Amino acid sequence: MATISIPWYAPPRLAHAVKQARRYPLVPLFILTFFLVVPALLAPQVAPHDPLKGSLSKRLKAPVWQQGGSIEYPLGTDKLGRDILSRMIYGARVSLAVSVVAIFVGGAIGTGLGLISGYFGRRIDGLIMRLVDISLSLPTILLALVLVAAVGPSFWTVITVLVVLLWARYARLVRGETLSIKERDFIARARVAGASHTRIMLRYLLPNVVNSLIVLATLQVGYVILLESALSFLGAGLPRPTPAWGLMIADGRELIVTAWWVSMFPGLAIMLTVLALNLLGDWLRDHFDPKLRHV
């Protein structure tokens, strides 16, 4: 019986290819540009149909390459006859908006508290770090369900949940960086020169933690998109009929056998976006850290 032999040098070559791919972020940038940013910014111009309007006579049409498919609906339609492609394009806008707002607000709060905690230390540091511990211990789904029960599902409900979860990560990162940076000579010289605490934090400490913040923010975009989709899937996120990727997956979970495309394509969009953002975050981390640049 003939046997198939695998060259012994295949694993090293594969490892080398992966290492090279991480050094050049062209693939993740291409995916993010053409599958997230461009659709989000130009959704009204590039979407072929209204994402909220459907026709029951055209419900559950298959993708164009399957029998019964039509070029009018390249990725098929859902159970209400709405175009899957158009809803995915508008869903990119929703995901990008949620990510930008949540990360900006949560990052600003966490960065400010992290600078204060690391710079002043002592009781202030202890108080802020206990708040961080409480925030990190909160159950995400339970918090979302409580807010939904209290005020109802909405864009700002999702933002509130995400900010509560995100700020602590920024505060812990910035606090650790600040504890190291504040002991350096240029901070001591700034104190001797009479610089105020606010000036030291904004002029000397903040610029030295920006690189780490950029890397964390990039990685958090994928986390936020995944979390927002999960909350929407469970009914604790954005309300219907918002064209959100998580809601689209939830709408097709009962049709996964007969109309797999309703859930499959939004799921692929989430997977590709999160994967591209993680690869881009790895590249930024390697680029900004001088110890990793030549590894």
pLDDT value of residue 17: 55
CATH number at residue 200: 1.10.3720.10
Residue 78 belongs to a domain: no
Is the predicted pLDDT of residue 3 greater than 60, yes or no?
A: no
Q: Tell me the angle at which helices 155-181 and 84-120 cross, rounded to the nearest 10 degrees.
A: 40
Average confidence (pLDDT) over 80-85: 88
Per the omega criterion (within 30 degrees of 0), is the bond before 139 cis? no
Average confidence (pLDDT) over 204-233: 85
pTM of the predicted structure, to 2 decimals: 0.80
Reference 225, options 157, 273, 265; nearest CA is 273
pLDDT value of residue 75: 87
Beta carbons of 212 and 82 less than 8 angstroms apart: no
Residue 276 belongs to a domain: yes
Cα angle 28, 266, 51; round to 5: 115
Average confidence (pLDDT) over 128-155: 83
Q: Which two three-digit tokens encode residue 113?
A: 């508290």
Question: What secondary structure letter does DSSP report for 57?
Answer: G
Q: For 83, phi and psi rounded to 5 degrees?
A: -70, 125
- The total domain count for the chain is 1
Beta carbons of 248 and 88 less than 8 angstroms apart: yes
Residue 52 belongs to a domain: no
Residue 75 belongs to a domain: no
pLDDT value of residue 217: 87
pLDDT over 90 percentage in the chain: 9
Residue 30 belongs to a domain: no
Tens digit of each residue's pLDDT (9 = 90 or more) over 153-210: 788 888 888 898 889 999 999 998 888 888 888 888 888 888 888 888 888 888 888 8
Cβ-in-10-Å burial (0-12, 13-18, 19+) of 105 comes to middle
Residues with Cβ < 8 Å from 190, sequence gap 6 or more? 199, 200, 203, 204
Q: Could you give the CA distance from residue 107 to residue 117 in angstroms, rounded to a whole number?
A: 15
Is the predicted pLDDT of residue 293 greater than 80, yes or no?
A: no
Model confidence at 225, in pLDDT bands (50, 70, 90)? Answer: confident
Is the predicted pLDDT of residue 69 greater than 80, yes or no?
A: no
Is the predicted pLDDT of residue 1 greater than 60, yes or no?
A: no
Tens digit of each residue's pLDDT (9 = 90 or more) over 26-59: 777 888 888 788 888 888 888 888 888 888 888 8
Which structural domain range is residue 213 located in?
95-295
pLDDT value of residue 285: 76
Model confidence at 113, in pLDDT bands (50, 70, 90)? Answer: very high
Beta carbons of 178 and 115 less than 8 angstroms apart: yes
Residue 38 belongs to a domain: no
Q: Which residue has the higher pLDDT, 4 or 279?
A: 279
Residue 210 belongs to a domain: yes
Is the predicted pLDDT of residue 7 greater than 50, yes or no?
A: no
Residue 67 belongs to a domain: no
- Cα 275 versus chain centre, distance: 10
